[in-house]
Amino acid sequence: MSFLSDILWGTPMLVLLLGTGLYLTVRSRFFQFRECRRIFRSTIGEVIGKNRSARQVRSVCTALGVTMGTGNIVGVATAIHLGGAGSVFWMWVSALLGMMIVFTENRLAVRYADRGAGPMGYLPRRLAVVYAVACVLASFGMGNMAQSASLTAGVTSVLDIPPVIVGGVTAFLVGAVIIGGAENIGRVAEKVLPFVSALYILVSILLIVCNIEALAEAFSSIFMYAFTPSSVGGGAVGYTVSRAVSAGLRRGVFSNEAGLGSASVLHSDCEGEEKQGMWGIVEVFIDTIVCCTLTALVILVVFPQSENCKGYQLDGTELVSAAFSSLLGKYSGVFVAFCLVLFAFATLIGWSAIGEKAWVFLTKGRFSIYYKYIYVIFILIGAVISADEVWFLSDIFNAAMAIPNLAGILAVSQQGTPAGRR
């Protein structure tokens, strides 16, 4: 399975992903940079002000809940474990170029919402069907089992509870929310996400400030090892540039989901093509440039990438917990587990809404209740199977979503209008 994952996320996929983002960025005359002030004024500014829309806020919170899942914690740690500090640079690249991909996805999704949600509306019929199948599978993989596995690992690391019990409780709670429908999902996401995001950001900043003397070296290692091979742990583990690029881009996509079209499925219900596109840019910025960067810096200021560093032999939750222990001591595991639980819960309920819309597209609106039952069952499965297998499956399903979506976006961009249905 890892072999298939490596093939799908090899050079062709990376070229397609970066090439599409670069093409859209140049074609828009670097819109995400040139109009950054207007973007934030038209999105965050309106939410803070009096012009906020309840539907818009719930849509954004659900979309952010989908992107700001365990990828912000476990995904970043895994990228550094696999590719070293240089992988963080390539996560940034995936975000900065991915902003225009998400902008385009959201804009097209609103324009063609009457044909289907997200890419299922703006892609040609056959590609839309392929995408919908991949989306349903991804909702069970990245959106479900990956979150359940990380949540379970976090809880069992601090509490002596069998994984099957953790999975069962999670499945029950998620089921109770998603049975209530999209409005219920939005209301829960609106309450959970701001709280856990603010808590995680504040504690991360506090740890970085307490290790401020190591911050310059952390940034230096990110840029240096993005283009220079390195060794860690006395040379026992080598980090090549290709590993840094691959790990950074894979986990960047896992976190911000640029190119997957998933966020556009949620934004297709809202009004204003350009505004939804701008929200896509803001969501990627908050997810990767803010939250993922903070996680990376927390790790790098505590475990600088050097010949004698042993920290990178840890992976995922263990690496993040070890880093936070420099500030929180024995309570670091509890803090990381708490954040993982809430982030994962927000992602689980958000992805259920995305997967259900793909299911409805394929079944023409029938049997949606069965999708919810299946979704809940996969939460329990994710809690008890190998986390490595879940990550490999997630990479495979992500690629299956990204390939038709990016191909369709390029075709639409070249023609100026969405490709016609055949």
- For residue 133, the model assigns a pLDDT of 93
- For residue 5, the model assigns a pLDDT of 65
Q: CB–CB of 322/314 below 8 Å?
A: yes
- Residues 9-35, mean pLDDT to the nearest whole number: 85
Can you list the domains of the chain with their CATH numbers?
Answer: 2-415 (1.20.1740.10)
**How far is residue 30's CA from residue 206's CA, in Å, rounded to a whole number?**
33
- For residue 419, the model assigns a pLDDT of 42
- For residue 203, the model assigns a pLDDT of 93
- Residues 193-204, mean pLDDT to the nearest whole number: 86
Would the pLDDT of 47 be above 80?
A: no
DSSP code of 138?
A: H
Structure tokens at 18: 């970066």
360-390 per-position pLDDT tens digit: 999 887 788 889 999 999 999 988 887 777 7
Would the pLDDT of 404 be above 60?
A: yes
**How far is residue 382's CA from residue 107's CA, in Å, rounded to a whole number?**
34
| Average pLDDT taken over every residue of the chain | 81
| CB-count exposure of residue 384 (10 Å: 0-12, 13-18, 19+) | middle
Would the pLDDT of 416 be above 60?
A: no
**How far is residue 297's CA from residue 210's CA, in Å, rounded to a whole number?**
12
**How far is residue 323's CA from residue 309's CA, in Å, rounded to a whole number?**
13
Please, which pLDDT band fits residue 168 given cuts at 50, 70 and 90?
Answer: very high
The strand pairing partners of 231, in sequence order, are 238
User: Which of 166-170, 300-304, 387-391 has maximum average pLDDT?
Assistant: 166-170
Coil/strand/helix, residue 397: helix
Please, which pLDDT band fits residue 215 given cuts at 50, 70 and 90?
Answer: very high
Would the pLDDT of 417 be above 70?
A: no
112-129 per-position pLDDT tens digit: 888 878 888 888 888 899
- For residue 49, the model assigns a pLDDT of 62
